[in-house]
Structures are given as C-alpha cells and as structure tokens.
Structure 1
Amino acid sequence: MGAVDHRLRARAHAHGSRPRGEWPVVAFSPRKASISLYGLHEPHLREHGVDELVAQLGKVKIGVGCLWVGRLSTIDLDVLASLVDRAWVHTRGAV
C-alpha cells in the first residue's frame, strides 16, 4: 500500500438505494470528460463544513455524493486534500 492508500480503506455501508457491503471512504474514477470523486460530498459531511470547502475548490460539478472535475489544473489541490482529510476523519475517525 502506498502513502495515500490508507485513505481508501473500505467502510461498512448500508445507505439508501446502494447495496450493502464495503465501500471506500474516498474514491475516484477517471472518465472521458471528467474525473469523478466519490465520498467527498456525502450528506453526513455537510455539517462538517464540506460545502464551504467545495466552494473554494474551483471549477467542479456537484452530484449527490460525488464531485466531477474536468481538469485537475482547474481546482485547488490543497483544498482537495482538506476535503479528503475531512471525509476520512468524519467517516473513519482520526488517523
């Protein structure tokens, strides 16, 4: 495992219409038109200030529980790191 891989450990998940089982805390999926970032805009994180961080992130599209980034050069990578940290802490606990 690499230095950042610990952030991708699975969490138990039984939420809404999603199947039960293990889901990563944070994940990404490169697509043709954009990069999908999962786990950074989940409803349980809203009370922990993620909306303010997303507003500072840069050019993104917001989905239900995911963010779409066209190019990494259009976002603030330090803010992205803060979002990943916040998602980790409030989903799994402090490292």
Structure 2
Amino acid sequence: MYELKTKETDNSVIEFIENIESPKKREDAYKLLDIFTETTGYKAKMWGPSIIGFGSYHYKYESGHEGDAPLVGFSPRKSKISLYFAPGDTQRDELLKDFGKHTTGKACVYINKVADIDVNVLKALINQSVRFLKETYPND
C-alpha cells in the first residue's frame, strides 16, 4: 500500500521558519505566513518536514488512492519558494497572468521572493484554491 509522505505533523512552524538560513527567505516566509493565515483563517501547520499548510481536505481518486493534504501552503526551499495551490484548478492559470515573476509545476507555483509578486493576486489564488478544493472534495 502506498504510504503518503507528506502528513500533518506537530512540528513548530515558527521553529521551522527560524531555522531557514537566508535572512531574506526567512523574512519572506513570515510575510507568507501572515498572508496565508489572514486569507484562509486557518492556523498554519507543518506538513512533512518542510511544507507549511493551511486547512486540510481528504481526497480519493478513482484509482482508490486517497489521503489528506493542506488546502493551500508554501515551502521556503533553498532555491525558490514553492506555493501550493489546488491541482487541476483551471482558474489558476487566469489568475497567474497578473501574478508577477514565477514559474509553475503541476500543483506548485515557484517564486524567488515575495517582492516579485502581486500580493492581491496571491490572496485571490489562495481563496480560489480553497473554494475549488472545498467544492471538489465536500466531505470535510
């Protein structure tokens, strides 16, 4: 059976942020913590060793694979900051047009620093992702 690697933990979000080597990245992590907390209304939780997540949902795919994941989150990694939004949300691409400097993956949006992006668009992305996941997985 597949074991989900990224699970909610009781590790301290503040302790995690304080251990970020780069002062600039640490500062951005605190800015993002404030933005995500204020926008979602959820308390930040650590997911796995390096993802700061907000809220959670339970998913179940047609394949039978299921698990829990944060509604939205971020991870201040060494090279870039990963922002986690709902995979499969078609409105995300439209919002990203006005987001600022970023690159994208399947579920992630990567930024170098908060100064590169439009914070209002970030809030819209967070709200859209939460809304999309709550509609897609209403069993929570």
Q: Cα RMSD (Å) of the superposition?
A: 2.3
Counterpart of 1:36 (choices 82, 85, 100) is 82
For 2:127, the equivalent position in structure 1 comes to 85
Shift of 1:21: 1.4
For 2:98, the equivalent position in structure 1 comes to 56
C-alpha distance 16-91 of structure 1, shift in aligned 2 (>3 A): same
- In the alignment, the residues of structure 2 paired with residue 16 and residue 56 of structure 1 have an alpha-carbon distance, to the nearest angstrom, of 34
- In the alignment, the residues of structure 1 paired with residue 105 and residue 99 of structure 2 have an alpha-carbon distance, to the nearest angstrom, of 15
For 1:11, the equivalent position in structure 2 comes to 57
Normalized against structure 2, the TM-score is what?
0.55
Normalized against structure 1, the TM-score is what?
0.78
- In the alignment, the residues of structure 2 paired with residue 15 and residue 70 of structure 1 have an alpha-carbon distance, to the nearest angstrom, of 32
* Runs of at least 5 residues in structure 1 that lack an aligned partner in the other structure: none
2:102 aligned partner, one-letter code:
V
Deviations 1:28-65 (A, max 9, x none): 1111111101125x21x10xx22111111010011011
- In the alignment, the residues of structure 2 paired with residue 16 and residue 81 of structure 1 have an alpha-carbon distance, to the nearest angstrom, of 31
- In the alignment, the residues of structure 2 paired with residue 87 and residue 68 of structure 1 have an alpha-carbon distance, to the nearest angstrom, of 16
Which is bigger in relative contact order (C-alpha 8 A, separation at least 6)?
1
1:63 aligned partner, one-letter code:
G
- The number of aligned residues is 87
Residues 102 and 110, structure 2, Cα contact 8 Å, conserved in 1: yes
Shift of 1:13: 2.1
For 1:73, the equivalent position in structure 2 comes to 115
Identity %: 29
